Structure 1
Amino acid sequence: MTERQENGVKKAQVLIEAIPYIRKFRGTTVVIKYGGSAMVDNALKKAVITDIAMLKFIGLKPVIVHGGGKEISALLAKMGKESVFIDGLRYTDKETADVAEMVLSGTIGKNLVKDLEAVGIHACSINGKDGSTFISKKKEDKKGRDLGFVGEIEKVDITLIKTLMDADFIPVISPIGTDSDGNTYNINADYAASSVAGALNAQKLVFMTDVDGIMKDKDDPESLIKKLSESEAISLIESGVISGGMIPKTECCLDALKKGVKSVHVLDGRIPHSILLEIFTEEGIGTMLL
């Protein structure tokens, strides 16, 4: 065979390796929490959009929940307003809540829809206020500190999400919620994704991050933990192996599993096509919790 033919055979082998996974997951719901560098680097963004399009074209049902913390901070800075964080959560006064909704729903969500439409995928951007999808309440800080309009989800009404999915649209959801008094709340996107995945009884929840996955040693790439059970993850948190910002993300993973999600994946979104590599190859590239 020529070199060109050999390359063609290798590509075919990759496709063949994916067949068992396509057969297994076809028709199932996959919730993708989209954030980190993969949202701001154009090449990575294109790879993510292509991956999501592939999922849709081969028969899976993707749902996107996106963040946008960097973009919110950038706009606040332009307005001369400092971003204040309390244990990783953005203090959100009324003005910041309005900015968050404008950036997440008005800019990021619409741009994601445009990018998906460009590759032949129907998509629709909504936030948790639309259709009362995220019934929320003010988040109580464990130390009694006021977080402003930071919310937590009490209930996910999936009516609008399911309506879009049944009409062959990919829902693109920004983490903005509302309460019975009409207050707007900024919700942590990881927790929103976990809640959506649980409400949809999703097969998979995928977190796109800026790390390889869950590590035994964050400074050692070789210490990536490929697979974790709930009990193992809890033990690693208690022992301090999982620490810092990875604790709340792991807690979101565990929350999703408790709500009925079959498996949760923590991936490095800086690796092109990480979604496809994790779901459709034997090795995978991140950490899977199940």
Structure 2
Amino acid sequence: MVDSGLQQAFAQDVVELWHAGLRPVVVHGGGPQISAMLDRLGLETRFEAGLRVTTPETMEVVRMVLTGRVQRELVGRINAHGPFALGMTGEDAHTLTAVRRSAWVNGSPVDIGLVGDIVEVNPSAVRLLLEQGHIPVISPVARGTDGQIYNVNADLAASALAVSLGAARLVVLTDVEGLYADWPHSTEVIERLTVAELDRLLPELASGMLPKMEGCLKAVRSGVRAAHVLDGRVPHALLNSLLGGNSPGTTVLPDNVAGDGRGAA
């Protein structure tokens, strides 16, 4: 989300949710901003299975852009409405702990460098901020069990944190309308599907949607009541979904709730 108007609308939505009695937690990415900075520095941008290949040099840029720019912009936009937001990273208070992961491409593991999988979440600092009436804004950088710092996909970090906090919902904003039923042959969006249906679809998904839907799958499978994938290009999509009852996009539900069948094998 790099458009300033959309950022402002998102910040307004988050504050409105807070005023409505919800306790939002924001986990942000920063892919376009990271890629732009890497390009300026003459460093390669490459993805495997939807995950950024992260060399030690790239990791320095990731950390700088996420915590020094994107997080500060989001905190500033939210705090334009009042003293709500506080920024932190997954490194802080050992909130997120990760191990190095590989990407799977055509059935084989591919080394993608300093990219981590979350293996432990310590939500105490986040809970403290929520109890104090704040809105945590979290950069998805995690410490490793080996002492290394890892780049973690924001959608997967949000999923792990949602489970640890016992969140009712996980909302993922993206730059498409939702999960397409037969991309690239059709732009029909799957409106609802269950964990079992998504599990069957996951190996066939386009790489860009893979981490998002993997995050939704893990969250709902672990107790989050619903996960929503919304088009972040639509102003106030977040507010309309959670408070307006209008949730275009794709919703992932537990297996004991009927999906729409289009995700079935």
Q: Give TM-score, length-normalised by structure 2.
A: 0.88
Equivalent residue for 2:211?
Answer: 248
Equivalent residue for 1:33?
Answer: none
Offset of 1:131 from its aligned partner? Answer: 0.3
Question: Conserved in 1, the CA contact under 8 Å of 2:48 and 2:103?
Answer: no
In 2, Cα distance between equivalents of 1:96 and 1:89: 13
Q: How many residues align?
A: 249
Percentage of pairs with the same residue: 41
Q: In the alignment, which of 134, 142, 162 is matched to residue 96 of structure 2? A: 134
How does 1:178-189 map onto structure 2 within 5 Å?
178-189=143-154
Offset of 1:233 from its aligned partner? Answer: 2.1
SS at match of 2:86: strand
Question: Conserved in 1, the CA contact under 8 Å of 2:228 and 2:251?
Answer: yes
Matched, 1:260 2:223: yes
Question: Conserved in 2, the CA contact under 8 Å of 1:134 and 1:156?
Answer: yes
Offset of 1:120 from its aligned partner? Answer: 1.5
Equivalent residue for 2:131?
Answer: 166
Question: Conserved in 2, the CA contact under 8 Å of 1:278 and 1:286?
Answer: no
Q: Which has the larger radius of gyration?
A: 1
Q: In the alignment, which of 181, 184, 190 is matched to residue 216 of structure 1? A: 181
In 1, Cα distance between equivalents of 2:208 and 2:32: 16
Q: Deviation per CA, 1:171-223, whole angstroms, max 9, x where unpaired? A: 101110112442110011111011011111100100001111122244655x2
Equivalent residue for 1:61?
Answer: 23
Equivalent residue for 2:44?
Answer: 82
Equivalent residue for 2:119?
Answer: 154
Question: Conserved in 2, the CA contact under 8 Å of 1:199 and 1:259?
Answer: no
Offset of 1:251 from its aligned partner? Answer: 1.9
1:88–1:246 Cα change, 3 Å: closer
SS at match of 1:149: strand
Q: Give the unaligned 5+ runs of structure 2.
A: 254-265
Offset of 1:76 from its aligned partner? Answer: 1.1
Offset of 1:43 from its aligned partner? Answer: 1.1
How does 1:1-290 map onto structure 2 within 5 Å?
39-142=1-104, 143-218=108-183, 220-221=186-187, 223-237=188-202, 240=204, 242-290=205-253
Offset of 1:232 from its aligned partner? Answer: 2.4
Offset of 1:42 from its aligned partner? Answer: 1.1
In 2, Cα distance between equivalents of 1:145 and 1:218: 24
Offset of 1:141 from its aligned partner? Answer: 3.9
RMSD across aligned C-alpha pairs, in angstroms? 1.7
SS at match of 1:171: strand
Offset of 1:243 from its aligned partner? Answer: 4.1
Offset of 1:235 from its aligned partner? Answer: 3.7
Q: Deviation per CA, 1:227-257, whole angstroms, max 9, x where unpaired? A: 211122234446x5x5443333222111001
1:247–1:83 Cα change, 3 Å: closer
Amino acid at match of 2:215: C
Q: Give the unaligned 5+ runs of structure 1.
A: 1-38
The structure that is helix-richer by fraction is 1
In 1, Cα distance between equivalents of 2:141 and 2:87: 12
In 2, Cα distance between equivalents of 1:286 and 1:195: 21
Q: Deviation per CA, 1:131-168, whole angstroms, max 9, x where unpaired? A: 01111111134434322111111101001111111111
Equivalent residue for 2:261?
Answer: none
SS at match of 2:88: strand
Amino acid at match of 2:143: T
In 1, Cα distance between equivalents of 2:16 and 2:223: 25
